[in-house]
């Protein structure tokens, strides 16, 4: 143990797999030296210790047993990050709170479970509205006028295994392709399957959402479809903050030209992790700042207000279900929420991601990630790691300044914030 560690008030074990994130985190914690010691290797033995590590590397037994061991994730949060579980929790909440913005702020969603394509008829009986929509599409020649749906594995992210469909034939074909992939990759490592989303052997649960086929398109930005990546910080038991610097992630191809071609993922899917593999990828054209979009300030403010209200009720919904979400007082976690805007500037929440892929922000807007990390570290230091008497005045001013762009939207101990 270093001399710095012996005099520090607390130690933070920082160990992230992605160098992009590790570098930014270490820089954020460096501002607290020597009050906070940083450790990247070796045994974690400090009496006041925080694990800022990949989920599977956190010592959950110590976090659960000790009030002086902290973690950068909540142990139980599948009710938020698994699409099917979150959909279920939101439906329960809306049933009890019919005036909630979640009634209109989330696309209509159905949980879809299937073990084999042979049982597709039975599976569709649980989401008959989808089957009715596909049947109604049979008489519509123009695909742009049909009801469209999007199929998403409940467990995966980064655009893996996502398909848009509008007919029974197309859905069945997509599922057959996925189950064939399952047979070919059956011996693949389960963790790799979950991460890549390509093998269905670990994915028996999907959600089907009504596809937003009239998204907001901005001529100045090439009439390309885009989604918003909103960084959210949840702390303790339970305060939730939205980071004001939202990102807009654009598809590479104009939407209108391919709206009817559901196979053209370059028009329909906006994940930059998929685009980065394409020839000619331009990071500066794919990732923009929300507040710089070609919309007047009143509309931008209105969209931000919707996002905050939706997130407030989302955390109210999931925090009520203790079997699938537990906010431990000694934990803090960063999430990435994805939103889509329809042509009337209505915000719709698509999904929540734990351990968001910060690297997709790229180098051009790296300052957004740096700012969010600084705000998260300041919150962890203030709420978990340091006692008030240990924080000198200058450090207190820095911590407050680093959290300026965090907007509190929910607190379990108070009425809804938004």
Render pLDDT for 194-211 as a digit per residue (tens, 0 to 9): 333 334 344 478 999 999
Distance CA 291, CA 293 (A): 6
Provide the pLDDT for residue 207. 94
Mean pLDDT of all residues in 43-48? 88
pTM, 2 dp: 0.90
- What number is the average pLDDT over the span 5-14? 85
Residue 201 and residue 115: Cα distance in Å, rounded?
9
pLDDT tens figures, 244-283: 999 999 988 888 767 677 778 777 777 655 555 555 556 7
Q: Are 376 and 233 in contact (CB under 8 A)?
A: yes
Is the per-residue pLDDT at 371 higher than 60? Answer: yes
Q: What share of the chain is helix, strand, coil (3-state, %, to 5)?
A: 45, 20, 35
Rounded to the nearest 5 degrees, what angle is found at the Cα of 382, between the Cα atoms of 380 and 385? 65
CA distance 336 to 241: 12
What was the pLDDT predicted at 414?
A: 72
Distance CA 213, CA 280 (A): 26
pLDDT at 191: 44
Query: Can you give the pLDDT at residue 154?
Result: 83
Confidence at residue 139, expressed as pLDDT on a 0 to 100 scale: 86
Q: Helix, strand, or coil here: 405?
A: coil
Contact 37, 31 (CB under 8 A): no
DSSP reduced 3-state for 413: coil
Percent of the chain with pLDDT over 90: 71
Which range has the worst mean pLDDT, 37-46, 228-237, 366-375? 37-46
Question: For residue 282, what pLDDT is reported?
Answer: 61
Q: What is the pLDDT at residue 185?
A: 56
**Each residue's pLDDT tens digit, 274-330:** 555 555 556 767 899 999 999 999 999 999 999 999 999 999 999 999 999 999 999
Q: What is the pLDDT of residue 272?
A: 58
Question: 83-96 and 297-319 are packed helices; what angle lies between their axes, rounded to 10 degrees?
Answer: 90
Q: How far apart are CA 341 and CA 278, in angstroms?
A: 25
pLDDT score recorded for residue 362: 83
Strand partners, 152: 207
Q: Is the pLDDT of residue 81 over 60?
A: yes
Burial classification of residue 322, based on how many CB atoms lie within 10 Å of its CB (0-12 exposed, 13-18 middle, 19 or more buried): exposed
CA torsion 31→34→38→43, rounded to 10°?
-170
- List the one residue out of 302, 372, 374 whose CA is nearest residue 337: 372
C-alpha 11/C-alpha 393 separation (Å) is 21
Identify which of 413, 357, 356, 322 has the alpha carbon closest to the alpha carbon of residue 76.
322
Please, what is the average pLDDT of the chain?
Answer: 88
To the nearest whole percent, how much of the chain has pLDDT over 70? 87
Q: Which helix (DSSP H) or strand (DSSP E) does residue 137 occupy?
A: helix 128-137
Q: Write out the E strands in 32-129.
A: 36-39, 49-53, 69-71, 109-113
Residue 1 is given by DSSP the state -
Q: Stretch 109-124: mean pLDDT, rounded?
A: 91
At residue 162, does pLDDT exceed 90?
no
Distance CA 375, CA 406 (A): 7
Residues 410 and 416: their CA atoms lie apart, in Å, by 6
The predicted model gives 217-222 an average pLDDT of 94
- What does the DSSP assignment read for 285-296? HHEEEGGGSSS-
Question: Distance (Å, rounded) from C-alpha 223 to C-alpha 220?
Answer: 7
- 385, pLDDT greater than 70: yes
Residue 193 is predicted with a pLDDT of: 39
Of 358 and 199, the one with more pLDDT: 358
Neighbouring residues of 58: CB distance < 8 A, sequence distance ≥ 6: 51, 71, 72, 73
Mean pLDDT, residues 78-88: 96
Residue with tokens 């742009």: 144
| Contact assessment for residue 15 and residue 23, using Cβ atoms and an 8 Å cutoff | no
If you search the block for the tokens 């938020």, which residue do you land on?
80
* In 342-405, beta strands by DSSP E: 347-354
């Amino acid at each position: 143990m270093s001399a710095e560690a012996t005099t520090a008030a607390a130690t933070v074990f920082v160990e992230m797999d992605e160098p992009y994130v590790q570098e930014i985190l270490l820089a954020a914690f460096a501002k607290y030296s020597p009050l906070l010691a940083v450790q990247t290797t070796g045994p974690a033995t400090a009496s006041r210790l925080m694990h800022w590590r990949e989920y599977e590397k956190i010592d959950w037994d110590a976090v659960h047993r000790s009030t002086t061991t902290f973690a950068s994730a909540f142990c139980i949060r599948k009710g938020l990050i698994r699409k099917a579980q979150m959909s279920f929790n939101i439906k329960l909440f809306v049933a009890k709170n019919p005036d909630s913005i979640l009634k209109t702020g989330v696309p209509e969603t159905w949980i879809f479970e299937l073990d084999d394509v042979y049982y597709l008829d039975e599976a569709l009986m649980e989401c008959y509205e989808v089957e009715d929509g596909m049947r109604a599409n049979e008489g519509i020649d123009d695909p742009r006028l049909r009801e469209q749906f999007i199929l998403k594995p409940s467990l995966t992210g980064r655009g893996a295994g996502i398909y848009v469909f509008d007919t029974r034939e197309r859905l069945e074909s997509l599922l057959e392709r996925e189950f064939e992939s399952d047979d070919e990759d059956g011996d693949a490592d389960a963790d790799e399957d979950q991460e890549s989303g390509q093998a269905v052997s670990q994915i028996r649960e999907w959600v089907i959402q009504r596809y937003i086929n009239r998204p907001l398109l901005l001529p100045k930005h090439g009439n390309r479809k885009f989604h918003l990546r909103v960084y959210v910080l949840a702390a303790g038991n339970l305060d939730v903050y939205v980071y004001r610097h939202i990102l807009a992630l654009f598809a590479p191809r104009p939407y209108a030209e391919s709206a009817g071609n559901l196979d053209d993922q370059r028009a329909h899917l906006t994940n930059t992790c998929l685009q980065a593999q394409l020839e000619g990828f331009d990071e500066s054209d794919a990732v923009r700042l929300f507040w710089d979009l070609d919309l007047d300030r009143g509309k931008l403010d209105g969209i931000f207000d919707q996002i905050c209200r939706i997130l407030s009720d989302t955390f109210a919904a999931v925090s009520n279900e203790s079997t699938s979400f537990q906010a431990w007082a000694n934990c803090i976690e960063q999430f990435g929420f994805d939103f889509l805007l329809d042509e009337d500037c209505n915000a719709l929440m698509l999904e929540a991601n734990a351990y968001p892929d910060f690297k997709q922000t790229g180098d051009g807007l790296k300052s957004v990630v740096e700012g969010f990390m600084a705000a998260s570290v300041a919150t962890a230091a203030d709420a978990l790691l340091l006692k008030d008497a240990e924080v000198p005045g200058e450090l207190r001013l820095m911590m407050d300044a680093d959290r300026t762009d965090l907007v509190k939207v929910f607190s379990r101990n108070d009425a809804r914030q938004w």
